[in-house]
Amino acid sequence: MDSLPTCYGKGKILTLQVSADQEPFNVVIEAAHGIWSHSVNLLVKVLENDANIEVTDKLVFLKLYDRRFSPAFRERWDVKPWTPALEEDLHAFSQIGAARTVLDIWRDSPHTEYDFSAPSYHKEALLSVIMSEEWEKENDAYRVLKAHQGKFIPRMICSVMMQIGPVSMVGTEPIPLLDDPLILGQSPEMFEIDGFLMEYYPGFPATKIACQTDPGDWKHLKNRVIATVGHVMESDTILHEDIRPKNVVITYDKDCLRNHRVIMTDFRSTMMRDTETDEEWAEMKKRYDEKGMMEAKLENPPRRRQEGDGYRSYTASAWWNFDDYDIMTHD
């Protein structure tokens, strides 16, 4: 398991932007969050609010689809671990215009086969698009489930973008927004990292109900988790393909069980209804059965978090400053 990249160390300042017509704003990293496998997860505070974001001075949760530090995606698409040298190769690939063709073919031809034998910078370019597509899926999910935000799923404060520049200029640090084609080349979107700024819910994952609550409370909380999943996913426009107890948070209140809240997180593995007929969609919902799947996975709850799934991951344990139960998600 690798140590955290220095660009996401405690106290580092990140420059984010909500949209092209709004002013950038800065956040400071207060803590890393859990195990990074598919995304970079951070607890941050907003330093400037020129973008008129609806946020207080409390900790907020920042999730970034950073291709550089998403080991699960890198392994799935056979992209070797990120290095500054690889990033320099990617910039050169963009500056000569070759990346533009690769990206356009991938976007315009859905059935194009992924070339596992391509050079690393070629696969790095495609990974930037794949990560953006993953972000879009989760963004769509939060939009469809907006009525549940702040109640049963995190409140989405805003979607954000962070730009990274040439390693030779700034190392791995995020930098203010650039629009110079001489720096970013003809494919600047490869150096834009999509993400979300969300309300933060300290608590423990549903995988730890048995060891975080009294024996008499286990069944009650388990049933609440199952009911919450069923309520959120009863929508006829979305289904969850990979429902997991670790991505359900129970806000921690040691004095009053009734004050515990159940919050579903991580909607990366969701699918939106497209052209399916009522019969086809009903069959798909029956096949995935989010509520039943959660019930089955909670039947024999694990006592200990399982770390790592066969790929390199980044852990916050080196400078973890919250109790072990204080995690939101580590997808």
pLDDT of residue 309: 42
Put the strands of the sheet holding 262-264 in their side by side order. Answer: 203-205, 248-251, 262-264
Chain centroid offset of residue 127 CA:
15
CA atoms within 13 A on the CB side of 60: 24
Cβ atoms within 10 Å of 160's Cβ, excluding its own:
24
pLDDT of residue 253: 62
* First-to-last C-alpha distance (Å) of the chain: 16
Q: Are residues 193 and 66 in contact, defined by beta-carbon separation less than 8 angstroms?
A: yes
Q: Which domains does the chain have, with CATH numbers?
A: 6-199 (no CATH), 203-300 (1.10.510)
**Is pLDDT of 137 > 70?**
yes
For residue 278, what pLDDT band results from cuts at 50, 70 and 90?
A: very high
Put the strands of the sheet holding 192-199 in their side by side order. Answer: 13-16, 25-32, 40-46, 60-64, 192-199, 156-163
User: What mean pLDDT is reported for the chain?
Assistant: 80
Q: Are residues 224 and 262 in contact, defined by beta-carbon separation less than 8 angstroms?
A: yes
**Is pLDDT of 135 > 50?**
yes
Q: Could you report the per-residue pLDDT of 79-129, keeping only the tens digit for each?
A: 999 998 999 899 888 888 888 888 888 888 766 788 888 999 999 999 999
pLDDT of residue 221: 86
**Is pLDDT of 241 > 80?**
yes
Tell me what percent of the residues of the chain surpass a pLDDT of 90.
40
Considering the entire predicted model, what is its pTM? Answer: 0.82
**Is pLDDT of 204 > 90?**
no
Q: Measured between alpha carbons, how far is residue 283 from residues 156, 167, 244, 269 in Å?
A: 30, 49, 21, 18
pLDDT of residue 203: 86
- The DSSP-derived string for 244-286 is -GGGEEEE--TT-GGG--EEE---TTEEE--S--HHHHHHHHH
